[in-house]
Amino acid sequence: MLDGALPVLDVRDLKTVFKTRGGEVHAVNDVSFSLRPGELLGVVGESGSGKSVTMMSLLGLLPSPPADVRGGTVMFDGKDLLRVTPEQLRTVRGGKIGFVFQDPMTSLNPVYQVGFQIMEPLRKHMGMNKRQAAERAQELLELVGIPDAKRRLNDYPHQFSGGMRQRVMIAIALACDPQVLIADEPTTALDVTIQAQILELMKELRDKLGMAVIWITHDLGVIAGIADRVMVMYGGQVVEHAPVKELFSNPQHPYTRALLKTIPKIHGARSARLTIIEGQPPIMTGAPTACPFRERCDVAFDRCAVENPPRYDLGEGHDAACFFDARTGEPRDA
């Protein structure tokens, strides 16, 4: 890990609100994180926790209205991405910041050959001519482990399997040598044996190309195997953030602790009954004035209902947004 190195991406107090008929939904609430060169940051959370919306906000991918990115800064390459012109943002997206989406079926255009789709960013962002782009496209397909790359460039997406399509998506994201790759649930739609292939590939590529990666998933198992640091999101907020081993061995937020207990394991002792987290995830209407997890929390007390806890620094890169100190077993000082 390159501790102390300047972050490639630094997000501070990002806030995104959706305007709906039922009122304002605060999907992302003061989310802050930074990404160091070459590291893999895992983002975990359930659906609606705001993990995808956070990433889409910082890339300006949300339609407005209904979305309104209301505040914060996103520093990348010396510029604040929330305050650059749409043209400048376009050169960053798909160029210095690449991304891979969950569903490889819908994120490729079915009527263009995959070669054309890989060459598109090369010609737009890198100013390559057709021949150069075709050569690079072939290299990229070989890089992501697609056999017979040259011939496959002329195939259409439907001629690829799900795992192969996700490899094509990764090739497109890598086309312009990105400094940051954002992968939003890239293996969720895939089978476990294919997921294992893609995870291996990602580890290999990161070591070879040295880019920083943000990996969004709801699967704690995937995170455990691949991430350097982990950010846990709940109700549009970061509730806990720690180096991966620390998070799994020493979780401090009640939500993280409950989540780790609720998933059954494939090895080791098998519990007769699963631990459950009662209730439902919250819908974040109105500005948050209380802890979003309080209604499902087993250590909540009065303060949790009147104040939203800030992220308390616990040292060694670990922080948790909870008024209850799990180490001492007592509430933190007001």
Partner 1 sequence: MLDDTKKPLVSVKDLKMHFPIHAGLLRRRVGEVKAVDGVSFDVFEGETLGLVGESGCGKSTCGRAVLRLYDITSGSITIDGREIGATPQPALRDMRPTMQMVFQDPQASLNPRMTVEDIIKEPLDEHTKLSDAEKREKVGELMDAVGLNRKFAKRYPHAFSGGQRQRIGIARALALNPKFIVCDEPIAALDVSIQAQVVNLLEDLQEQFGLTYLFISHDLSMVRHIATRVAVMYLGKVVELAPREGLYADPLHPYTKALLSAVPEPDPSLARATRRIILKGDVPSPANPPAGCNFCTRCPAVMDICKRVEPAYREVQPGRFTACHLYNETTNTADETAG
Binding site for partner 1 (CB under 8 A): 46-47, 161, 163-164, 191-197, 199-200, 218-225, 244-245, 248, 258-260, 262-267, 270-271, 273-278, 280-281, 296
In the bound complex, what is the minimum distance in angstroms from residue 267's beta carbon to partner 1? 6
Which tokens go with 248?
A: 């799994």
Closer Cβ to partner 1, 96 or 165, answer by number: 165
In the bound complex, what is the minimum distance in angstroms from residue 285's beta carbon to partner 1? 15
In the bound complex, what is the minimum distance in angstroms from residue 5's beta carbon to partner 1? 22
User: What is the DSSP track for 144-212?
Assistant: TT-SSHHHHTTS-GGGS-HHHHHHHHHHHHHTT--SEEEEESTTTTS-HHHHHHHHHHHHHHHHHH--E
Sheet of 23-35: strand order equals: 23-35, 9-20, 67-76, 79-80
Closer Cβ to partner 1, 225 or 288, answer by number: 225
Closer Cβ to partner 1, 224 or 299, answer by number: 224
- Please answer whether residues 78 and 70 qualify as being in contact, where contact means their C-beta atoms are separated by less than 8 angstroms: no
In the bound complex, what is the minimum distance in angstroms from residue 83's beta carbon to partner 1? 35
3-state secondary structure of 297: coil
Distance of alpha carbon 327 from alpha carbon 334, whole angstroms: 17
Closer Cβ to partner 1, 44 or 314, answer by number: 44
In the bound complex, what is the minimum distance in angstroms from residue 102's beta carbon to partner 1? 14
In the bound complex, what is the minimum distance in angstroms from residue 284's beta carbon to partner 1? 15
Distance of alpha carbon 118 from alpha carbon 141, whole angstroms: 9
Closer Cβ to partner 1, 276 or 287, answer by number: 276
Q: Count CB neighbours of 259 within 10 A.
A: 21
Closer Cβ to partner 1, 120 or 295, answer by number: 295
Spatial CA neighbour of 282 closest among 49, 51, 54, 68: 49
